[in-house]
A and B are shown apart, each in its own frame.
Chain A
Amino acid sequence: MENNKVTPLIETVELKKLFKLNGGARLHAVDGINLKIYPGETVGVVGESGCGKSTLGRTILRLIEPTSGQIYYNGKEITKIKARKLRELRKDIQIIFQDPYSSIDPRKSVIDVIAEYMFIHKVYKNRIDTYNRAAELMDLVGLARRYANSYAHELDGGRRQRIGIARALSLNPKFIVCDEPVSALDVSIQAQILNLLMDLEEELGLTYMFVTHNLSVVKHISTKIMVMYLGKCVEMAPSDELFNNPLHPYTKALLKAIPEPDISKRDEEFTLIKGEVSSPINVKPGCRFAKRCDYCFERCTHEDPDLLEVSSDHFVSCFLLDKN
């Protein structure tokens, strides 16, 4: 996947987002993320709640302003661009939100929700063309046209998520951040939406960043996976490599914690990670995972491990693998 000639579609360099809290404390939501997403890739970002994965997605779209670091789109820096240029950029990069219940205007009909972005960006000169395109998008995402004049509350979660997808596609974006698009849905509906997203990726040549906490979903859909823990990337590798050969203690434990629907593994004990995610407020130096890690030694508690490339395309941030 790594190709020096191709410019990454999205690149972040030392991207940081600190939220200021009352009393001068700082919450380290995203803490120095270097990520390259090449055209056609699907990068899965996994981690537990509060690890900063959603904040990362939103910061890349500039829905949240980064504290420091740079974001590049197609080789051009977009960290500081303003008003009109930013609006232009938003045509190319879009987001599908987690909760299809709260991310759709309840007072607009389905077709108006889908057409809204096209009106804002004045994609078509007249209303008829815009609505025709919106109807086409409904076909594309598998929403029957008879729902065009319905309101979101009349539809179920799966169909609402299809509205969200149609809306994100309406401006022909190149890059879409999918922020937990299936976590609010039932398994059978989840499978329908995942199939749809994968079909669209192929048909329209999209590039996804797929933010989720569900490891089976991320394995299914991604080509490359980044595991986050408290704002830091702890491990990044191609999907199969990560699942076959996880190296960071956190990734290992995370993979072992998934209850698999496989009866032969019934009596296998879970490998438990002790404790819970510690607070991201005013983080002290040292590996973020040290407190819960079985292999923690002295160096881990006062020095930050770097993200090292241990084998081709496989990056890990852990002193255990640091040969020096």
Chain B
Amino acid sequence: MNELILDIDNLSVIYKTDLEIVKAVNGISLKIGKGKTLGLVGETGAGKTTTALSILRLLPENTGKVTSGSIKFEGDDLLDMDEHNMRQIRGGQIAMVFQDPMTSLNPVMTVGDQIAEAIIMHNEGISKEEIEKRVDEKLTMVGILPSRKIDYPHQFSGGMKQRVVIAMALACEPKLLIADEPTTALDVTIQAQVLMMIKELRNRLGTSMLMITHDLGVVAKTCDDVAVMYAGEIVEAGTVYDIFLGENHHPYTEGLFGSIPNLASRTKRLNSIPGLMPDPTNLPEGCVFAPRCKYCMDICTKVHPNTITEGTHSLLCHLFTDKLCGKAGGKNGK
């Protein structure tokens, strides 16, 4: 892999309440190369958003806590950074597009002012004309007429609002864009428009991206690398080709693919995954997927598997320990 923009190593995050400790993220490692897009795939509660929030250090102050690991952004550990420097990074170097465009905009500010806010924060002493110029430029970039900058969010439709949110995120030309399910709340035709736009902007500006989604179709269209997350762990990671065309897959990834109704062929039944994701306050011993896994062996319920790496592809599963460990030579290869 070429130069890294983001290097997360062994990150663990917990949410601590008076009653219980929720183990949201458990020792994950992720790498994003410059100009690449990493897709983080998983179901609700897998810890995808928690990962994104810990990169930006936006975890809820009283409950959320990073217990171990490091998050290196261009070589600097974000977890050691003081709040002043962190504010420079947030919105400036790393920006985030949140899932729900309806709630992530301020309803009492015009969209132009909201985009300008980010520009003013990160460019001290910038002139008024310059701000206006940049706001117009960003709106044009996402396909909204600059004349609409005096409108309020409620005057825009869902797809348009998401474009505004993207314009805000790109206002300071960040090096890394975190998109948390950017199209989940949108209709298919609008989703297609927004995805195309994101892809085009990424190619033009050379932004690296972390794309959080549960839609494998979106992943196939936009990502270079994929990490599949389950119960706070990365169970499988690799390039899109490893995930979509490779032979060996984690049983959970296999289940995810089996669960999607296929447009090309007509099958009678879907190969759903039985059961539910384990409660993060009480994770099973051994492999976290074992209770739902159809290939579950004795060892799976007792011993936590190690990551097995083969080239760019890595798996967290006992099934492949014997098969791949010999030739790939090693565990914890991430």
Contact = CB atoms under 8 A, between A and B. Distances in A.
Interface of A: 48-49, 156, 158, 186-192, 194-195, 198, 213, 215-217, 219-221, 240, 243, 253-254, 256-263, 265-266, 269-270, 272-273, 276-277
Contacts of B273: 188, 191-192
Given A261-B219, A263-B245, A156 B276 contact: yes
B43 A276 contact: no
Interface in B143-181: 157-160
Contacts of B267: 220
Contact of A192 (B244, B257, B268, B272): B272
Nearest to B252: A188
A259 B272 contact: no
Nearest to B160: A276
Given A258-B263, A277-B187, 9 more contacts: A158-B276, A189-B272, A191-B271, A194-B272, A195-B270, A198-B269, A253-B189, A263-B241, A276-B160
A261 B220 contact: yes
Nearest to A240: B266
Contacts of B220: 259-263, 265-266
Given A187-B43, A261-B244, A266-B221, A276 B190 contact: yes
Contacts of B258: 191
Interface string B263-293: 1101111111110100000000000000000
Interface of B: 43-44, 157-160, 187-193, 195-196, 214-221, 240-241, 244-245, 255-264, 266-274, 276
A272 B187 CA distance: 13
22 contacts: A48-B188, A48-B189, A188-B259, A188-B273, A191-B259, A191-B260, A192-B272, A194-B272, A220-B270, A240-B266, A257-B188, A257-B189, A257-B192, A259-B192, A261-B216, A261-B220, A263-B244, A270-B192, A270-B196, A272-B189, A273-B193, A276-B190
Among B189, B220, B240, chain A packs the most CB atoms within 10 A around the CB of: B189
A186 B214 contact: yes
A276 to B, nearest CB: 6
Nearest to B43: A186
Among A188, A257, A261, A276, chain B packs the most CB atoms within 10 A around the CB of: A188
A71 to B, nearest CB: 28
B331 to A, nearest CB: 28
Contact of A272 (B192, B261, B276): B192
Contacts of A265: 220
A216 B261 contact: yes
Among A254, A259, A262, chain B packs the most CB atoms within 10 A around the CB of: A259
A260 B263 contact: yes
A258 B215 CA distance: 11
Contacts of B160: 276
A191 B219 contact: no
A187 B213 CA distance: 12
A261 B257 contact: yes
A278 to B, nearest CB: 11
B261 A276 contact: no
Among B256, B257, B259, B266, chain A packs the most CB atoms within 10 A around the CB of: B259
Contacts of A240: 266
Contacts of B270: 191, 194-195, 220
A188 B261 contact: no
B245 A49 contact: no
A222 B259 CA distance: 17
Contacts of B268: 198
B260 A261 contact: yes
A176 to B, nearest CB: 19
Nearest to A255: B263
Contacts of B214: 186-187
Contacts of B255: 188
A156 B43 CA distance: 13
Given A187-B259, A259-B217, A273 B189 contact: yes
A94 B217 CA distance: 33
Nearest to B188: A257
A137 to B, nearest CB: 20
Nearest to B213: A259
Contacts of A254: 188-189
A220 B188 CA distance: 17
A275 B187 CA distance: 12
Contact of B263 (A158, A215, A270): A215
A195 B259 CA distance: 10
Nearest to A253: B189
Contacts of B215: 259
Among B43, B216, B262, B272, chain A packs the most CB atoms within 10 A around the CB of: B272
A192 B255 CA distance: 11
Contact of B221 (A49, A186, A259): A259
Contacts of A266: 220-221, 240
B158 to A, nearest CB: 8
Contacts of B191: 257, 259
Nearest to B241: A263
A258 B260 contact: no
A153 B268 CA distance: 32
A197 to B, nearest CB: 11
A265 B220 CA distance: 8
A270 B220 CA distance: 13
Nearest to B42: A186
Contacts of A187: 43, 214, 256, 259-260
Contacts of B196: 269-270, 272
Contacts of A188: 43, 255-256, 259, 272-273
B217 A263 contact: no
Contacts of B159: 276
Given A259-B217, A265-B220, A217 B261 contact: yes
A215 B190 contact: no
A121 to B, nearest CB: 33
